[in-house]
Chain A
């Protein structure tokens, strides 16, 4: 079965329009990040204490926050976690309110609260995370460093295997993907944790993988049909690999669906990031990476 038969579609022509979409998405991402004052850094990065609780019944985060403040510990934020039916929440305490030695008291007070109030019937503490200030700083550095090294490493490998313009196109595409995925996380108001960084790096890997398959074809066609114009070669390369591009995106997406819906609260945001990333990554291989190569060639030809 073929999902896409012989195709004669002018992708290059659509790249101008696509660029506007990309720029719009990037601007929306940046606006959301500025509006939210940067990503919603998880406790791993900010330092402090995070307590993951599961309630017996649904409760608004604000109500929970109020109840906590009333019983004597003001929290920095209370957020829903996982799917709505899970009734799970993340409670964050600022570092200055929660030194390590206070966690034991918090735990005790919380458990007392759970035992006393009807609202908290069946509630339990699932997880306690404490991150000291030093570790938080180290983790931020490591996270940013790992994304940076990944970009540089990929650029180096691509320069080694392809022409320079191709390499730059792929890296622009992955920066594009990272920015828009981070924007989506910010718009969805999800916490930016270490697991999200891992998901972002996976998105980067996927996006480059996708781009390379198309580039590989364009390069092969360049060798086989030197008489054809570059624009036509790019169009053909994209068309010939299009069914693979879509099928792979679909298989990855269908394994992400059960992770998103069934994987449990901890995996939920991770799967969300990957789902956004796979869609953006697939789009960018064609409309950002390949578009840049066309542009780069044109400029080179123009001298």
Chain B
């Protein structure tokens, strides 16, 4: 019998040792001795949401809206530049990233173009036709805007979810324009609150009320306008009211708010004079100045508090207000608390929409873990018994290699930080069944050689030597499909693919090296005449 390779023995011992260290926190859980964390990592394998329970939300960021908002700002800026330059604007419109500003006939087009170029050359292509000036926003500028808004959205959502106070929420970018929010351990009761927390754009504006009415049409007629865009041109906008008053379904206000929620430095739950929950807020210094001026100039007028386009309340201004304010309305305590949290975190620059949700109750997760563990134990026992029954002593060797194989696979999974999912557990169980395939191929070959009358030593040598390529060929293709799954899969399926891929690599190692080394060790000192197979 060929000697035992010291190199391989060392590698096997090293791998076993490393895997054992990596896996100890997973198996010991809370019973881990305190010194462990100082020497090794005390973080166990992380469980997927399907095992732990919780909420998974994939958010699409409506970056197009960010571009639209940018166009509105651009429109405002250009028109005010023209006004400064005493160029009269007849009308303006925005569509598909193009702003078209019409001037009165006879306008000095040369100068108008120059004004536009001076300030907006970098962000837009500028041309003119007759008395129309067109600004088309540049794709590179759009890309930058979108990238910015996604980053800001991610930051704000991170603040909001973390403020909510559940352990270890994770907020990641997913693909180019999506954000993945995972909140493990969130209960079904928390679901709606978390969704509201994340989805709320929370743009807070303070605007002076010009008129109120029962319908949009009433209000349009009151300023002699026919469409919303005409009313915008006149510097007004119409908002729906949610103030609890039957007579005031719609409000006409000035179009642009002079004070917004971005100046808020703090917000908290408070109660109004009737003991109903409300949200109190505090302005930063610059905001306080602006708010002071707004309220001072408009004493006796009504101030609309607009949240995401809807008017929450419209109190009459009694006196100048600077730092402090209160939003009253029809809130529950929870809603007021959450709104305060959202105002503290700031408003989303663009809205988000939920593309995918998965909420798993903790009982289903727990149930899955227990059943997964149980079927794994049963599966292991069946395979181990089967191998000993069919291959006697060689079967024992294959089993020893299989046990180490499972240890390595789980060690690798921990080392790579792979999240264990339910299909991942299934993949692990499946790997158990497939892992002995290599051993079977080798053992059957050894038997054939023995039947052909070859010596014991020669049969073992040939059994291994002739099976190497078969095993490699067979596993490369399986690895290929597993990697494709990993590449294209999402969520739990990715976990399955990761388990399978790592399982295949470790299995080939255990079939060709570990089992071989064990065989050699077992027969090292004996003159081998018979193989127990």
Contact = CB atoms under 8 A, between A and B. Distances in A.
Interface of A: 1-3, 6, 52, 54, 100, 103-104, 107, 124-132, 134-135, 139, 142-143, 145-146, 149-150, 153-154, 157-158, 161, 194-195, 197-198, 201-202, 204-206, 208-210, 212-213, 216-217, 220, 240-241, 243-244, 247-248, 250-259, 262-264, 266-267, 270-271, 274
Contact of A103 (B357, B434, B481, B497): B357
* Residue among B374, B387, B392, B493 with most chain A CB within 10 A: B493
Contacts of B50: 266
Given A2-B447, A104-B195, A254-B379, A212 B489 contact: no
A256 B439 CA distance: 19
Nearest to A51: B359
A267 B372 CA distance: 9
B430 A256 contact: yes
Contact of A146 (B378, B437, B447, B485): B485
A197 B60 CA distance: 25
A104 B493 contact: no
Given A213-B470, A213-B474, A263-B371, A274 B480 contact: no
Interface stretch (B2-10, B200-208, B360-368): B360-368
Per DSSP, chain A at the interface is helix
Per DSSP, chain B at the interface is helix
B500 interface: yes
B358 A251 contact: no
A126 B188 CA distance: 9
Contacts, number: 224
Nearest to A86: B367
8 contacts: A107-B188, A135-B356, A161-B473, A205-B478, A213-B470, A258-B429, A266-B50, A267-B422
B474 A258 contact: no
A202 B444 contact: no
A133 to B, nearest CB: 9
A201 to B, nearest CB: 5
Interface of B: 50, 58, 60, 188, 191-192, 195, 353-361, 363-364, 367-368, 371-372, 374-376, 378-379, 382-383, 386-387, 389-392, 422-423, 425-426, 429-430, 432-434, 436-437, 440-441, 444, 447-448, 451, 466, 469-470, 473-478, 480-482, 484-485, 487-493, 496-497, 500
Nearest to A132: B355
Contacts of B441: 213, 244, 248
Given A254-B383, A255-B382, A271-B426, A128 B357 contact: yes
A251 B386 contact: yes
Given A252-B430, A263-B375, A240 B448 contact: yes
Contacts of A125: 188, 361
Contacts of A217: 470
B477 A201 contact: no
Given A128-B357, A252-B430, A259-B426, 5 more contacts: A124-B363, A126-B360, A194-B490, A210-B474, A264-B368
